[in-house]
Chains A and B, each alone.
Chain A
């Protein structure tokens, strides 16, 4: 496998998936870089048991979730530091909504929708992203998430119900 070829084949997949998780160009680019560094390092270990795209999807999802966790931790630490006067840094949120795949007139609505999606559990969020945004088939999404199709179905149903409830409770979707 040639690394440059793998990059050309999967760069859009990784970048767009990362965008759906973090909704920010800078963060998505950083995640894309990390994913391909990881792909480069593990290229020789990859066994052809799964499709390369499935493998890269998994790496990307894990990287995105780690990135989000690390960011939350950093924010928490910055908040505590500011409380004790240890840091004069302003608590600015670099994860400002900046999604290039969304039209200007839809920005506000989509920002709110992604805010609600971000409140879901990681698995429910992944199910919605893979099935609804990335438009993967149930079989593909189940393979990527390493669960059975049935488990994915029920996970997606729960995610959909939770999201609908949150949307109803929210004035922006009233």
Chain B
């Protein structure tokens, strides 16, 4: 087990910190893009749901045309 004593400590590359900073920045940008994508998807879904709700709403029976225009159901002009 003494063989492990031969392993020396290695030094980190001086450029590693800037790589890490770049990675953090990329991740943040990616998160923003993902957020926007989800917002867009949520908006489209909301519009679809509203559209479907409007289509599925029970239609009110329109009044019979003669009622709505108060038309006489017969040809008699005068009541006797």
Instruction: Point out residues on A near B: beta carbons under 8 Å.
Output: 4, 7, 11-12, 15-16, 19-20, 29, 32-33, 36-37, 40, 99-103, 106, 109-110, 113, 132-133, 160
Q: How far is the CA of A133 from the CA of B29 in the complex (A)?
A: 39
**Main SS at interface, chain B:** helix
Contacts of B20 in A (CB 8 A): 7, 32-33, 36-37, 40
Contact between B17 and A7, CB atoms less than 8 A apart: yes
As a 0/1 sequence over residues 9 to 24 of chain B, the CB contacts with chain A under 8 angstroms (1 = contact) are 1111100110110011
* Distance (whole angstroms) from the CB of A37 to the closest CB of chain B: 5
From B7, B11, B12, B24, contact of A110 by CB (8 A): B7
Q: What are the nearest 10 A-B pairs in CB distance?
A: A100-B10, A101-B8, A101-B10, A132-B4, A15-B12, A36-B20, A11-B12, A101-B7, A133-B4, A33-B20
Q: Is the CB of B24 within 8 A of A12?
A: no
The total number of A-B Cβ pairs within 8 Å is: 57
Most chain B beta-carbon contacts within 10 A, residue among A37, A103, A109, A160? A37
A58 vs B1: C-alpha distance when bound (angstroms) = 24
Q: Are B9's CB and A16's CB within 8 A?
A: yes
Q: Report the bound CA distance from A99 to B8 in whole Å.
A: 10
Is the Cβ of A33 less than 8 Å from the Cβ of B3?
Answer: no
Could you tell me how many residues of chain B have their Cβ less than 8 Å away from some Cβ of chain A? Answer: 18
B residues sitting closer than 8 Å to A (CB atoms) are 1, 3-4, 6-13, 16-17, 19-20, 23-24, 27
Output the least CB separation between B25 and chain A (Å). 10
B19 CB to nearest A CB, Å = 6
Specify the chain B residue showing the minimal Cβ separation from A39: B20
B10 pairs with A11, CB closer than 8 A: no
Contact check, B13 vs A29: say whether CB atoms are below 8 A apart. Answer: yes
**What is the minimal beta-carbon distance from B75 to any residue of chain A, in angstroms?**
85
Residues in chain B near residue A101, CB distance under 8 A: 7-10
Q: Which residue on chain B has the smallest CB distance to residue A105?
A: B6
B12 touches A160 (CB 8 A): no
